[in-house]
Amino acid sequence: MATAHAQKNKMYLMTAGVLAVGVAAYGLGRVYPPLGPSAGTIAPADRYVNAQVGAGDVQLGDTSVAELMQTDAFELMVKDANFRAFAASPAFQALAANPSAMAALMANPKAFAALAANPQAFAGVAQAAQAAAALAPRAQQANAALMGVVAAHPQAMLAMAAHPQAFASIANNAAAFSQFAANPSAFQNAAANAAANSAMQANAAAFQKMAADATAMNALRADPGVFNAMSASAKALQAAAGQPQAFAAAVQSAANAAQQMRQAGIANNAMQAFAANPHAFAALLSQPRAMNAVASHAKAFAALAAHPQAMAAMFANAQSFGQFAGNPNAFQNAAANAAANSAANAAMKANAAAFSKLAADAAAMNALKADPRAFASMANNAVAFGGVAANAQAMNAAMMSAISSNAAAFANAANAAQLASAARALQAAQAQSVAASAAASGRLNAAAAQAVLANPQAFSAMLANPQAFAAMASRPQAVAALAANQRAMAALAAQPNFAALLANPAMHAAIRQAGVAQGAAS
């Protein structure tokens, strides 16, 4: 009995070490929770009052770790058998080698757990992501263009999307349909007699069905400008129109996202930037402290975003840049001499060329000098910024500028759930658009396309890390562990501080070095 109890305590300690070692690597101190069995539910305020945390162990500017210790997620991590098993599993080891993949999983735990329940489907979606990855840059432009049209003409686009074959025909030959912008009644007449119209006769039955749909015709008569809008974005729309069902689904997802963002107060012209980078947008939203900091210092972060490599380094080492909050000129000097001045900031030396370029950007330096508290906002929320560091290079200037021009909407905590829902819809739209393009170009067969459409959020996340998820799919034990630990992952992902730590590259390096997973298994 005593031996079993000692072994149980050892497992508690080793599992807690996952967080403790990672926190130490990140520069926030070591945290040691007490040992012993749990006696029922412990109120958060009473938890770990005897933990051996010294006054200097946790930086006062960022209270994320201390707050994390008071949550149910920390209780689960330390004492839940499911999590301990997951920490010792091949899945955790695989994810620990790739913080970007872990960040993707933490942003969509339910989607991945559901997909992992069918290993064959998981492998199929991972393979589809690999096959479609080459199309992602072009798809970003297509997604942005599609969102521009949908945001400006939501009802008309949804009306057409209800008839996928006819809608795809219009998108594939948008210039020919622009004539109907001035006379939508003529479109209805032409569609009703589609067999006699050269632009419609290949899908005559589909156009006739659309013409007989009173709701669709009313929407087009109310907004005939949609024909011109589609013509103006014809090239981008054609990329996704080759697979009508997926194209229609992308429009429906984009319309859902646009509605959610509009209700949150986001302007139409900003939506395209988020549609072009939905995974990065979702990652930033998953860390409310980082998003609030960006929204509160939007112009400074928009300036940094023009230098993605430097910004990514700053996010990953946010605390070390707090020193410049009181002296932005010192930041410019240090950045300009990054290669020679390693004492000022090691992160600068490792990315010397990027920081030198940032220092030479007068507009960026002026923005930072006008708002030097942006440095403090990063340092005071270091865990949150570390959690988005893996996606920082995708948070381009257009995205940050869009946040800047809609700062009030993002700073409003009441919008958080609605914006998160919008991000998921944008990820779905991206997955559906890429799947349509890939299927049309022969990169995806029908079965793979259907798997993608059934798991759009997971596919969108895999697109950002195709190699990592392909490697995981080749390890049946890893996939099985994901499926078996949905509760643990969902509970932990619900805590932004913990999700940020697990997504942080420094913590993953510490986990690998310490061999925590192997120790927990012993």
pLDDT digits (tens, 9 = 90+) for 425-435: 998 998 888 88
State the Cα–Cα distance between residues 388 and 312, nearest whole angstrom. 9
Residue 137 makes CB contacts below 8 A (sequence gap 6+) with: none
Q: Could you tell me if residue 292 is inside a domain? A: yes
Q: Could you tell me if residue 288 is inside a domain? A: yes
- Is the separation of the CB atoms in 237 and 231 below 8 Å? no
Q: What confidence tier does 111 reach under pLDDT thresholds 50, 70, 90? A: confident
Share above pLDDT 90 across residues of the chain, in percent, rounded to a whole number: 39
Q: Could you tell me if residue 457 is inside a domain? A: no
Domain tally, the chain: 1
Q: Could you tell me if residue 360 is inside a domain? A: yes
Q: Could you tell me if residue 484 is inside a domain? A: no
Residue pLDDT, tens place only, 54-100: 332 333 355 555 555 565 556 656 666 666 666 666 666 666 666 66
State the Cα–Cα distance between residues 522 and 520, nearest whole angstrom. 6
Q: Could you tell me if residue 153 is inside a domain? A: no
Tally of CB atoms within 10 A around 319: 20
Domain hosting 374: range is 278-395
Q: Could you tell me if residue 346 is inside a domain? A: yes
Residue 231 makes CB contacts below 8 A (sequence gap 6+) with: 174, 175, 177, 178
Residue pLDDT, tens place only, 288-302: 889 989 988 989 999
Helix-helix angle 268-276:397-405, to 10 degrees: 150
Q: Could you tell me if residue 195 is inside a domain? A: no
pTM of the model: 0.76
pLDDT in the model for residue 460: 84
Q: What confidence tier does 162 reach under pLDDT thresholds 50, 70, 90? A: very high
Q: Which two tokens stand for residue 38?
A: 């749990």
pLDDT in the model for residue 44: 31
**Phi, psi dihedral angles at 80 (to 5 degrees):** -85, 125
- Is the separation of the CB atoms in 465 and 101 below 8 Å? yes
